[in-house]
Amino acid sequence: MKNAMAERRLGNRLREARTKKGLTQTDLAELVGVSRKTINTVENSVFVPSTILALALARALRTTVEQLFFLVSDDED
């Protein structure tokens, strides 16, 4: 039996939410206190944000963590 956690990854709508607010990656990075590269790696699913960063991103974009981030199963690609 495969490990169910190994078959899932975190997807996000960060780029969509950011651009709807008219923000650049740099703008958002400054609002939450991280580098532009961190925003880029989260948007591209290279880096999974900490809970604190996810909450800060949601607050800055005036949305919820659940709206920004979601689980994706490998068989849903």
Helix (H) or strand (E) holding 17: helix 14-20
Class of domain 4-71: mainly alpha
Give the pLDDT of residue 14. 98
Give the pLDDT of residue 4. 52
Give the pLDDT of residue 1. 46
Count of beta carbons in the 10 Å neighbourhood of residue 10: 15
User: Which pLDDT tens digits describe the chain residue by residue (77 residues)?
Assistant: 455 555 788 999 999 999 999 999 999 999 999 999 999 999 999 999 999 999 999 999 999 999 999 999 876 55
Give the pLDDT of residue 8. 85
And the tokens for 49?
């944000």
User: Which residue in the block uniquely carries the two structure tokens 């709807």?
Assistant: 20
Give the pLDDT of residue 7. 78
Q: Where are the domains of the chain?
A: 4-71
Residue 10, beta-bridge partner list: 71
Note whether 12 and 69 are within 8 A (CB). yes
Strand, helix or coil for residue 10: strand
